[in-house]
Structure 1
Amino acid sequence: MKSRPASLLLLFFLVSVNGFFSIPVFSENPWNNTMRFELIHRHSPELSMRPKTQLDRIKELVHSDNVRQQMISHKLKLGRGLRRMASEIRSSGSMAIPLRSGADRGIGQYFVSFRVGTPVQKFVLIADTGSDLTWMNCNYGCDNNNCPKRRLHHRRIFHAHHSSSFKTVPCFSKICKVDLMKMFSLTRCPTPMTPCAYDYSYSDESSAQGIFVNETVTVGLTNGRKIRLHDVLIGCSETFRGRAFSVADGVMGLGYNKYSFAVKAAEMLGGKFSYCLVDHLSPSDLTNYLSFGGSTTVVAKNMQYTKLVVGVIDSFYAVNVAGISIGGKMLNIPFKVWDVGGAGGTIIDSGSSLTLLTEPAYHPVMAALKAALTKFQSLELDIGPVEFCFNSTGFDESVMPRFAFHFADGVRFEPPVKSYVIDAADGIKCLGFASTDWPGTVVIGNIMQQNHLWEFDLVGNKLGFAPSTCT
């Protein structure tokens, strides 16, 4: 099987055949409130996962980052330089989705509950800003009497024969032959009405095969109402393999691509989406939302904005970083590290846990932070690329100099200390950075992003952020 230039996650698209959502007619505007999805915590009963020790969880996150970094590097080698336009994003309205933290054993870190079909079938998808395809596990072409028994370790499967709104996309259609080529639609078309199929492979040897269909998706608004999005394009994955699919039922693509859920939902709702990531060690009942539409500045009056660069580093969301300071002192890091148009650049990624620094940035950052920890005993722990851990007995955050990203337009992102001096186990902390090869891309991971509200303005090409408890 050929390896594809894929995001570590597949997706199940939420767009209609002509590229737009379809919604039913209401007597009043259904988009006058925020549309939202709950983000699900890694230890939620919905994921059927048993809590592990804190050290085991950190090891899982590091393994996930290793796989994900391979994916990011693979995508950038094949896709750097592609340009896309955000000028067509329009309209207004709002929705939100509950959002909770979640360990993925190889892919994203935060999950959403999603409802598809008529009647509704419920799934848990990975919310990932580095993916531009949305998909789910699926049974198609069978009925109650001949559907195969598939063991998925308590994960859910979409049963197409139970849904009256399930419609396949024909392989002779333009959307299959032209529009879905980048999503690896197959050229085989034995009859005009044969479903449009895909075969998607990843750099970690995971893969998924299925068909594209149109379905109805049910979402909730903040005012308590539910609405239905009709003729939404979905990836129905019938077969798959690999660690990437060991926990969730599929993926919600939030990357910058015309077929991603984020871009298509934002088109309807004012061109914005936002999220606030709870602490990755937070209790399982702590919930927040992935939101589309509405005004985040109402609850975050101290929001800062920097330029959001889209369509340059593949489908990732990039920012123009000018440098890093520690303790108020700018580090000596070459400009080429931050050059989005060159061999470097920086992306915001909800699917990476640690913050990944290319070697010219990693070494000065680690040297400056370790200098503040000389009185603490360093420890040798087998947790992959995490270089420096220490006995944290007597540690107080006040001993740490403040770390900050400085953006080219003068804005500064200064995360709390716990976002870069992370808990690994009782009495053990580690510096939450990993080194990645140069040339390459700096990745601001989800631990660094936590306890901040993030707003992606795809019309204004702005990234907003503000401190928040995410509650």
Structure 2
Amino acid sequence: MAVSMPYPLLFIVFLLFIIADFVNGHPGVKYQLIRRHDLHPKWGLRQLVHSDMIRVGAISRKVRRQVREDRYEPACNNGSREHSSGELPMHSGADYGVGLYLVKLRVGSPAQKVVLIADTGSDLTWSKCRYKCRGARCGRRQRRRVFRADRSSSFRTLPCSSTTCKTDLANLFSLSRCPSPLDPCSYDYRYSDGSATLGVFANETVTFSLANRRKARLHDVLVGCSESARGQSFVAADGVMGLGYSNYSLAVKAAGRFGGKFSYCLVDHLSPKNVSSYLIFGSHKEVNISVVRIRYTELVLGVINPFYAVNVKGISVGSIMLDIPAEVWDLNGVGGAIVDSGTSLTVLTQPAYQPVMAALRQSLLGFKRLDLDIGPLEYCFNSTGFDAATVPRLVLHFVDGARFEPPVKSYVIDAAPGVKCLGFAAAAWPGASVVGNIMQQNHFWEFDLGKSRLGFGTSSCV
């Protein structure tokens, strides 16, 4: 749905594409972002923030019924463990008006390339797929890219009669139907924005290319072979790469091979296409990326699965700690906060949203407020003559003393030429708050699953 505004939107999202080889001889995995200059005509800022709010609503429902779950240890792959890391270069881009990351992944034996949405809030990795090929259709040329499971020697479906299907995969929407014991385990996987996919579970091999020309393979990765998918999010992709915290996610599986961690760095969402940004498996120390002083805070795992939660103490604006009730951040109650690359805006529950907006509005009273229909974005203004130095700095304080201080452009965001908005959306209370990817821009973020810590530091991401 297009936004009813007189200017072309500048609200940018990032897309990831895997490149086959590593750079400069460092073994490992790194993904680079690609920027495109035009938004899809059917998508705009209002549609993007609408999708954000649906996603946050689903997160909040998880919080209200949350039960602390088991922790998942990044298991080694057949006794092998890669401690070094490398990079797969990409270019930053904007497309479709949705806050997604697209990656190219090699799946199967021999490996086939598929383009997937990289989602830290999803645990199932799946692709549009042809499982069985019958009759004359087998020889027809495909109009769309699909994973040909029938051509992979390592593709093994899970029996619907297995305990894995009936019990372990229940949270991944496995279906109870089982016509015969050896029939494949089916799923009807639903996303919070209403999109969904139908298919069968299988174990498969995923391949990464290393700089020394060798191949690193992850065996027995749980994947979904989808016969159908619905949802606007899947127009530009073949499926989803699950990077959430789950025993069956690709992030946890790959952590056992690449040092127990993954990370990404998001450049300014208005960066030109020749500026790079990265998704890395393994340690960032052995890849060519400059980070100014990495700070660490506790990464709380197993509370709001598959999301990555953090222990927040409070928010200050202009060095003044705001009056936000402590229960807003209580992960053991009905609050809490998560860091999510799949949500664009930063979303605060009402008890936090109101004081943050009130504090920031004071510095913008000299600018004409605009009455624009951009969904939950409440405060937009004519930005002629705007100087970021006049806006008080916002700081997110963590319980263990770490501080995250984003640049002003990450919360006073560009909506159109001459138009800026406070980049926050309100969520119902009780529920979770979300640090979205616009707030995360120009920072490096490391998800260390082995040590249960989140690292972050200022970076140009190049």
TM-score of the alignment, normalized to the shorter chain, above 0.5: yes
Aligned match of 1:70 in 43, 57, 65? Answer: 57
* Structure 1 unaligned spans of 5+: 1-31, 45-49
Question: CA distance change for structure 1 residues 184 and 428 in 2, over 3 Å: closer, same or farther?
Answer: same
Question: CA distance change for structure 1 residues 419 and 401 in 2, over 3 Å: closer, same or farther?
Answer: same
Matching of residue 83 in structure 1 with residue 69 in structure 2: yes
How much does 1:333 deviate?
0.9
How much does 1:84 deviate?
2.0
Aligned match of 1:458 in 441, 449, 458? Answer: 449
Aligned match of 1:421 in 395, 412, 432? Answer: 412
Matching of residue 367 in structure 1 with residue 358 in structure 2: yes
1:9-408 to structure 2, matched below 5 A, reads 33-41=26-34, 43=36, 50-51=38-39, 57-78=44-65, 80-87=66-73, 89=75, 91-95=81-85, 96=87, 98=89, 108-143=99-134, 145-147=136-138, 156-222=145-211, 225-296=214-285, 299-300=290-291, 302-408=293-399
Question: CA distance change for structure 1 residues 196 and 289 in 2, over 3 Å: closer, same or farther?
Answer: same
How much does 1:285 deviate?
4.4
Letter in 1 for 2:301: V
Q: Secondary structure at the match of 2:343?
A: coil
Q: Secondary structure at the match of 1:214?
A: strand
Letter in 1 for 2:29: R
Letter in 1 for 2:57: Q
Which residue does the alignment assign to 2:19?
none
Letter in 2 for 1:84: D
User: Does the 8 A contact of 1:318 with 1:346 survive in 2?
Assistant: yes
User: Does the 8 A contact of 2:74 with 2:252 survive in 1?
Assistant: no
How much does 1:402 deviate?
0.6
Distance in 1 (alpha carbons) for counterparts of 2:95 and 2:241 = 14
User: Does the 8 A contact of 1:220 with 1:227 survive in 2?
Assistant: yes
How much does 1:400 deviate?
0.9
Q: Secondary structure at the match of 1:219?
A: strand
User: Does the 8 A contact of 2:44 with 2:97 survive in 1?
Assistant: no
* Structure 2 unaligned spans of 5+: 1-24
How much does 1:149 deviate?
8.0
Question: CA distance change for structure 1 residues 465 and 34 in 2, over 3 Å: closer, same or farther?
Answer: farther
Distance in 2 (alpha carbons) for counterparts of 1:40 and 1:193 = 42
User: Does the 8 A contact of 1:99 with 1:111 survive in 2?
Assistant: no
Tell me the alpha carbon deviations over residues 206-252 of structure 1, each in whole angstroms, 9 at most, x when there is no partner.
22110112222221335564333333321011112233423321111
Letter in 1 for 2:167: V
Percent identity for Structure 1 against Structure 2? 57
How much does 1:398 deviate?
0.8
Tell me the alpha carbon deviations over residues 332-364 of structure 1, each in whole angstroms, 9 at most, x when there is no partner.
111111111111111000000000011111111
Structure 2 length as normaliser, TM-score? Answer: 0.85
User: Does the 8 A contact of 2:36 with 2:95 survive in 1?
Assistant: no
Letter in 1 for 2:188: D
How much does 1:276 deviate?
0.6
Question: CA distance change for structure 1 residues 401 and 56 in 2, over 3 Å: closer, same or farther?
Answer: farther
Distance in 2 (alpha carbons) for counterparts of 1:229 and 1:322 = 39
Distance in 1 (alpha carbons) for counterparts of 2:357 and 2:124 = 36
Question: CA distance change for structure 1 residues 77 and 332 in 2, over 3 Å: closer, same or farther?
Answer: closer
Letter in 2 for 1:422: I
Distance in 1 (alpha carbons) for counterparts of 2:325 and 2:339 = 20
Letter in 1 for 2:178: C
How much does 1:397 deviate?
1.1
Segment of structure 1 superposing worse, 81-90 or 360-369: 81-90
Distance in 2 (alpha carbons) for counterparts of 1:389 and 1:224 = 51
Letter in 2 for 1:136: S
Tell me the alpha carbon deviations over residues 19-44 of structure 1, each in whole angstroms, 9 at most, x when there is no partner.
xxxxxxxxxxxxx9553242443639
Letter in 2 for 1:177: K
User: Does the 8 A contact of 2:40 with 2:97 survive in 1?
Assistant: no
How much does 1:105 deviate?
5.8
Segment of structure 1 superposing worse, 55-64 or 67-76: 55-64
Letter in 2 for 1:256: Y
CA RMSD, 1 decimal: 2.8
Q: How many residues are paired up?
A: 431
Q: Secondary structure at the match of 1:76?
A: helix
User: Does the 8 A contact of 1:41 with 1:110 survive in 2?
Assistant: no
Tell me the alpha carbon deviations over residues 4-59 of structure 1, each in whole angstroms, 9 at most, x when there is no partner.
xxxxxxxxxxxxxxxxxxxxxxxxxxxx9553242443639xxxxx5358x96433
Distance in 2 (alpha carbons) for counterparts of 1:297 and 1:462 = 19
User: Does the 8 A contact of 1:275 with 1:291 survive in 2?
Assistant: yes
Q: Secondary structure at the match of 1:146?
A: helix
